[in-house]
Chain A
């Protein structure tokens, strides 16, 4: 595009600004919040144990499963969660290769959050100062070499909708887990209905994750945003309006669901370790 040449030297150095407000607060909070989650979830995923409560091996406890580990493809060595889709870890799994059921699962929600429009804007700022905050100087090496999402590698962020498709499947799976958490196996070997604190924790988890997932910008586009004529279908218009409502709170749901999914794992873990008790409220 030929336009009148504009030569403006980049005058601000990294983190230089004339702003006087607490511009560093938000990126610092984002950095710490995301780092805390990454550290905890990696640790939690690597444990490979204490990811469930109840089931055939723990009579009388509600059936709780940590969302980091759901769906369980194979249980960890020597464990019977009652949630495994296939069963025990197959013998062909190389002994030298670390196994934890969560390692097969977490990459998917990880991919979803990594490519989320909200998180992109947030971690570009907090993690690689692009820019750290509005009107705050960037590292000088980037300068006119800036590529943004126009070129590789970040052009791949455009595949976010595929992460969404997988995330929607996960919402159904976690919804099933929340439903399963309403039951416990009694001493008669049968499943009985009951609501414990853990049932509420798992249900809140799927509600918050649903609020986050169905407020996704790609979802908003797919349900109606891609059409110029919204009124051409009442269903489309309704869906678009509802998703837009969630979408305008996407950041809120992003953080609430991130915190809660971590807390849900912690809750199940602590109960499974016997440190916390999963009190039954009803049933």
Chain B
């Protein structure tokens, strides 16, 4: 597939096979140099992201029987990142983005032994976001990156989820709202929910992470009444 071309392979599909099995079969029997990235084959390492019949998905979690029978299956690399070869893309941009997000900064320990006391109901929101396996399928599907190539101005849903996990953590004392508004470009998200639809961990990215962050940014920068209220409170 290097250079943008497609190549046809035929493989015999047996019960329970997933797309990644077919790719491995092609590697074993027909194209030993076909490049693909994988690791766990259990939907947990996030390596085997690709686009199957035009939809971003994990190859190891897409069963062949869920695809239209009797039709060729189209497998492509992710479109939002530069292609290295065949199904392998260079996702290093994501790691650079992550490095720039202000890290966890916990408050002083609550207890003398240096530990904190937290309640389950307060960490539940962050816990949903911590299920992320960094497959970057949400980054791939997001049109802000995919079609508008705002890689320099928008951090993408994966890192909005990452930021939300930090921002909503009751122990964290850092403030990332100014970064979210300007550097991270949260306003570029126009709530299409495509990221939520493709997330293999079923993280409710748009409703639980992005919109709540947008609302926190509104509190800080766009809501005239809240801003006024804050000024008065600071004075008194």
A-B pair number, CB within 8 angstroms: 157
A225→B125 CA distance, assembly (Å): 10
Most buried by A among B51, B151, B216: B151
**Assuming A4-B93, A121-B191, is B218 touching A228 (CB within 8 A)?**
no
Chain A positions within 8 Å of B80 at CB level = 8
Interface string of B59-85 (1 = CB under 8 A from A): 000000000100100101001111000
Q: Chain A's interface: helix, strand, loop or mixed, by majority?
A: loop
Report A15 CB to chain B, min CB distance, Å: 12
Whether, in the assembled complex, B96 has its beta carbon less than 8 Å from a beta carbon of chain A, the answer is yes
Q: From known contacts A135-B54, A150-B185, infer whether A226 and B97 are also in contact, taking CB-CB under 8 Å.
A: no
A148 touches B54 (CB 8 A): no
User: Given contacts A6-B93, A217-B215, A228-B122, is CB(A19)–CB(B191) below 8 Å?
Assistant: no
Q: Chain A nearest CB: distance from B18 CB in Å?
A: 18
Q: Which residues of A contact B68 (CB under 8 A)?
A: 20
> Known contacts A3-B97, A131-B147, A135-B55: does B190 contact A228 (CB below 8 Å)?
no
| Interface contact B192-A121, CB-CB below 8 Å | yes
Contacts of A148 in B (CB 8 A): 144, 187-190
CB distance from B93 to the nearest CB of A (A): 6
B214 to chain A, nearest CB (A): 7
Contact bitstring A237-252, B, C-beta under 8 A = 1, else 0: 1000000000110100
* Binary flags per residue of A188-232, CB closer than 8 Å to B gives 1, else 0: 000000000000000000000000000001101100011011110
The yes or no answer to A125 lying at the interface (CB within 8 A) is yes
Size of interface on B: residues with Cβ below 8 Å to A = 63
A122 to chain B, nearest CB (A): 9
Partner of B187, one of A12, A144, A151: A151
Give 19 pairs: A residue, B residue, CB < 8 Å, sorted on A. A3-B96, A3-B97, A3-B151, A4-B93, A12-B147, A117-B191, A117-B211, A121-B192, A125-B192, A130-B143, A135-B56, A135-B79, A138-B147, A148-B190, A150-B187, A158-B218, A230-B121, A230-B122, A231-B119
Contact residues of B with A, CB < 8 Å?
51, 53-56, 68, 71, 74, 76, 79-82, 92-93, 96-97, 100, 119, 121-122, 141, 143-144, 146-153, 167-170, 172, 183, 185-194, 197-198, 204, 206-207, 211-212, 214-219, 222-223
A interface, CB within 8 angstroms of B:
1-4, 6-8, 10-12, 17-21, 117-118, 120-121, 124-125, 130-131, 134-135, 137-138, 142-144, 146, 148-151, 154-155, 158-159, 161, 217-218, 220-221, 225-226, 228-231, 237, 247-248, 250
